[in-house]
């Protein structure tokens, strides 16, 4: 497919989205219901990952540094 | 699968032999052809090992390569198709819920208030499908046309303000739409030319109807003439004609078999054959589509075990197959069916509804295509609706069979005799195909159809579409799969002035939705090229080029039969 501009390409992408999900055949209000449900879900996923992923990453880092980083210090202490 | 250019002349030569009426010798060339074909089959069409075995077992029965392909559905496409149906089903339930609580109006038949406690009539899946999926894309079907359905036609434009529940005609006409949907194989659907002229003459002479059955006062000399001609055309002893193709099947099978008989029916047989088999009251067993191993297994079991419980032998065993399967575009493996039929002493009922006129170097149908003796087929049925541009059906066979049917078949006893103009159309078009009108128009049309078919199928395959069926079958199914693409394909094609038939669930398995093109001899190369470029354009737009074989350059495929020496047993 050759596209003249980005707008045309986006329109084509949206058309593919309509066809693959099957909402091409739905009435406009049904389309908007489907779109809003889908985008709400996606937005929630993004928001949740934004809020919780950094916390989990920090916790994981602390956990692993607790395992790997804590050990040599104690051996040093024993040596002394 | 696909013929490489290197094999083309060789194949052509093999076909030529059949055309000349000579039996092809079992020389090295032909044998190596089979060998290559088998190898190709194994290699490219992803068929199961069993089928390959069958092919090699009966390989010598074919005088020309029998190339049939059913490329398997890509996994991702199948998953997305199911997902699409899932989403549409959820919305269907939502709409049904709204209709149930009278939040929105229900336009379609529903349970009546006074029948509240009766068995529900509109709750099964078919009704749900019609209400919630079919209705949304209904504008693709049942379009009224207002011209001859020839190579081009005029459509009445219509629009809907309530999402296809009702239609209004705008009064405009969509002109010059290329017709890729009519079963007009030989292009006899025309309102000018010798057929139309002689039909007009006969209408003036005989009127339009006799209003009586053949057995009473409705038997005209035209009917006798047509039946003789049909028998002569098919090379059978005798033939009889009926006014309706569907009834030919559904009313004659019950006359031929009954209780204590066994019908072995292909799983994709047309509804008329299924109805006839059920009405007959005989036991029906279904074999896998065009799978000779499955058929042989059933035949063996039937002969070994006999009837259930009593274990008496079956009175008759009737194998019911079609020439061309109109949804798959496949051609029956007739040489193998006949070999099996002879070996197990069964009877064969061959429905040539789509193949008569459309196949074979002389247009004599699938028997001619394989170069077989028509007398090997016990009951040869066909219709005049498709290739001949008329209406009705025929049955041909031995004289005794036809005489029996004349007195016992319901559609012979009770049906009104055929209208003389229709009969005249059959006679003229059939004579044209036979060359008895002194021209070569008929022969040219048969050749033209074969050329168009091969060309159209080859181009579609090159473009990367998944198409089903035999290389020589003028019915070309193009796979669409996803439910929204059924609607979108029909609409986009019509927008570009090509009329196509799209087929969805009740007629096909739920994920195998398809568009079905019917090639006609009336299509010029120009029209086919235009159609192909539009199909390609719409295919890009809708992302329909699913085939994973297209990357393979056709010419580069190895085709040296010495390579496959070890394959043949």
> Both tokens of residue B36?
């290559």
pLDDT for position A72: 56
Distance from CA of A51 to the nearest CA of B (A): 30
Q: Give the nearest partner residue to B488 out of A12, A19, A21, using CB atoms.
A: A19
pLDDT for position B69: 83
Instruction: Identify the DSSP state of A50.
Output: H
Residues 6+ apart with CB under 8 A from B301: none
> Both tokens of residue B429?
């078009």
Q: Residue B358: helix, strand or coil by DSSP? A: coil
Residues from chain A contacting residue B484 (CB–CB below 8 Å)? 18-25
What DSSP assignment string belongs to A14-42?
A: HHHHHHHHTGGGS-HHHHHHHHHHHHHHH
pLDDT for position B63: 77
Q: Give the nearest partner residue to B540 out of A1, A24, A25, using CB atoms.
A: A1
| Contact call for B133 and A25, based on CB within 8 A | yes
Q: How many CB atoms lie within 10 A of CB B131?
A: 20
Distance from CA of B95 to the nearest CA of A (A): 10
| Contact call for A21 and B137, based on CB within 8 A | no
Q: Give the nearest partner residue to B543 out of A16, A24, A25, using CB atoms.
A: A16
d(CA B60, CA B41): 15
> Both tokens of residue A36?
């809003």
Phi, psi of B418 (to 5 degrees): -65, 150
Q: What is the CA radius of gyration of chain B?
A: 25
Domain range annotation of chain A: 26-79
Q: Give the nearest partner residue to B84 out of A15, A22, A30, using CB atoms.
A: A22
Given the candidates 3.40.50.720, 3.40.640.10, 3.40.50.850, 3.40.50.261, the CATH classification of the domain at B194-434 is 3.40.640.10
d(CA A74, CA B391): 97
Q: Residue B368: helix, strand or coil by DSSP? A: helix
CB pairs under 8 A between A and B: 49
pLDDT tens over chain B, length 569 residues:
333 333 333 333 333 333 333 333 333 333 333 433 433 433 444 333 333 334 444 557 777 788 888 888 899 999 999 999 999 999 999 999 998 888 888 888 888 888 888 888 888 888 889 889 999 999 999 999 999 999 999 999 999 998 899 999 999 999 999 999 999 999 999 899 899 999 999 999 999 988 898 888 889 999 999 999 999 999 999 999 999 999 999 999 999 999 999 999 999 999 999 999 999 999 999 999 999 999 999 999 999 999 999 999 999 999 999 999 999 999 999 999 999 999 999 999 999 999 999 999 999 999 999 999 999 999 999 999 999 999 999 999 999 999 999 999 988 888 899 999 999 999 999 999 999 888 899 999 999 999 999 999 999 999 999 999 999 999 999 999 999 999 999 999 999 999 999 998 888 888 899 999 999 999 999 999 999 999 999 999 999 998 887 554 444 334 433 333 333 33
Residues from chain B contacting residue A22 (CB–CB below 8 Å)? 83-85, 87-88, 482-484
d(CA B375, CA B367): 10
d(CA B489, CA B542): 8
pLDDT for position A74: 54
- Top residue of A8, A11, A25 to mutate, by most chain B CBs within 10 Å, is A25
Map tokens 């919630």 to a residue. B132
Phi, psi of B365 (to 5 degrees): 90, -165
Q: Residue A57: helix, strand or coil by DSSP? A: helix
d(CA B273, CA B269): 6
pLDDT for position B33: 36
> B119: exposed, middle or buried (C-beta count within 10 Å: 0-12, 13-18, 19+)?
exposed
Q: Give the nearest partner residue to B482 out of A20, A26, A34, using CB atoms.
A: A20
Query: CATH 3.40.640.10 spans which residues of chain B?
Result: 194-434
Instruction: Identify the DSSP state of B63.
Output: S
pLDDT for position B235: 93
Sign of the C-alpha dihedral, residues A12, A18, A22, A28? negative
Q: What is the CA radius of gyration of chain A?
A: 25
d(CA B317, CA B264): 7
| Contact call for A34 and B87, based on CB within 8 A | yes
pLDDT for position B223: 94
What DSSP assignment string belongs to B517-535?
A: EE--TT--HHHHHHHHHHH
Distance from CA of A49 to the nearest CA of B (A): 26
| Contact call for A25 and B540, based on CB within 8 A | no
Contact B34, B24 (CB under 8 A): no
Strands B513-518 and B475-481: antiparallel
> What's the number of CA atoms in the CB half-sphere (13 Å) around residue B25?
3
Strands B379-383 and B513-518: unpaired
Distance from CA of B117 to the nearest CA of A (A): 32
| Contact call for B542 and A19, based on CB within 8 A | yes
């Amino acid at each position: 497919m050759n596209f003249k501009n980005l707008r045309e390409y986006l329109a084509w992408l949206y058309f593919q989205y309509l066809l693959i999900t099957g909402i091409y055949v739905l009435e406009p209000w049904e389309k908007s219901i489907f779109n809003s449900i889908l985008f709400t879900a996606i937005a929630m996923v993004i928001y949740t990952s934004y809020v919780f992923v950094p916390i989990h990453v920090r916790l994981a880092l602390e956990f692993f540094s607790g395992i790997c980083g804590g050990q040599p210090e104690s051996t040093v202490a024993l040596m002394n | 699968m696909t013929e490489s250019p290197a094999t083309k002349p060789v194949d052509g030569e093999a076909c030529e032999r059949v055309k000349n009426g000579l039996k092809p010798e079992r020389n090295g060339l032909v044998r190596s052809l089979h060998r290559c074909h088998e190898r190709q089959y194994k290699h490219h069409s992803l068929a199961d090992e069993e089928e390959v075995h069958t092919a090699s077992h009966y390989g010598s029965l074919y005088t020309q390569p029998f190339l049939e392909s059913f490329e398997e559905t890509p996994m991702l496409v199948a998953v997305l198709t199911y997902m699409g149906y899932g989403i549409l089903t959820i919305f269907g339930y939502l709409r049904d819920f709204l209709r149930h609580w009278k939040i929105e109006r229900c336009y379609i038949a529903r349970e009546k208030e006074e029948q509240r406690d009766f068995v529900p009539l509109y709750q099964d899946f078919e009704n749900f499908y019609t209400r919630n999926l079919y209705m949304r894309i209904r504008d693709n079907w049942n379009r009224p046309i207002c011209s001859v359905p020839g190579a081009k036609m005029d459509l009445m434009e219509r629009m809907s303000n309530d999402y296809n529940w009702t239609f209004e005609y705008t009064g405009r006409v969509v002109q010059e739409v290329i017709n890729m949907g009519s079963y007009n194989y030989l292009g006899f659907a025309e309102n000018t030319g010798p057929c139309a002229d002689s039909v007009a003459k006969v209408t003036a002479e005989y009127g339009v109807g006799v209003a009586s059955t053949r057995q009473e006062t409705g038997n005209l000399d035209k009917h006798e003439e047509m039946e003789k001609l049909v028998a002569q055309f098919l090379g059978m002893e005798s033939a009889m004609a009926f006014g309706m193709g569907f009834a030919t099947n559904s009313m004659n099978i019950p006359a031929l078999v009954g209780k204590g008989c066994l019908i072995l029916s292909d799983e994709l047989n047309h509804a008329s054959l299924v109805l006839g088999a059920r009405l007959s009251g005989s036991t029906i067993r279904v074999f896998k589509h065009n799978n000779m191993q499955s058929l042989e297994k059933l035949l063996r079991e039937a002969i070994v075990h006999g009837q259930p419980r009593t274990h008496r032998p079956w009175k008759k065993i009737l194998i019911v197959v079609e020439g061309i399967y109109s949804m798959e575009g496949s051609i029956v493996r007739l040489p193998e069916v006949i070999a099996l039929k002879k070996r197990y002493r069964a009877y064969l009922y061959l429905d040539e509804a789509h193949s008569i006129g459309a196949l074979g170097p002389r247009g004599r149908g699938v028997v001619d295509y394989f170069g077989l003796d028509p007398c090997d087929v016990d009951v040869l049925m066909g219709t005049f609706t498709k290739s001949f541009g008329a209406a009705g059906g025929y049955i041909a066979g031995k004289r005794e069979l036809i005489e029996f049917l004349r007195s016992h078949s319901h559609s012979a006893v009770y049906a009104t005799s055929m209208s003389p103009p229709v009969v005249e159309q059959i006679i003229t078009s059939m004579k044209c195909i036979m060359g008895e009108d002194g021209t070569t128009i008929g022969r040219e049309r048969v050749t033209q159809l074969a050329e168009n078919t091969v060309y159209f199928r080859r181009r579609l395959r090159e473009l990367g579409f998944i198409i089903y069926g035999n290389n020589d079958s003028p019915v070309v199914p193009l796979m669409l799969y996803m439910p929204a693409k059924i609607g979108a394909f029909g609409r986009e094609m019509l927008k570009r002035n090509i009329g196509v038939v799209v087929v969805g669930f009740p007629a096909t398995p739920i994920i195998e939705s398809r568009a079905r093109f019917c090639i006609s001899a009336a299509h010029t190369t120009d029209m086919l090229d235009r159609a192909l470029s539009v199909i390609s354009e719409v295919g890009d737009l809708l992302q329909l080029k699913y085939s994973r074989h297209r990357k393979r350059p056709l010419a580069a495929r190895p085709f040296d039969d010495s390579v496959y020496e070890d394959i043949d047993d």
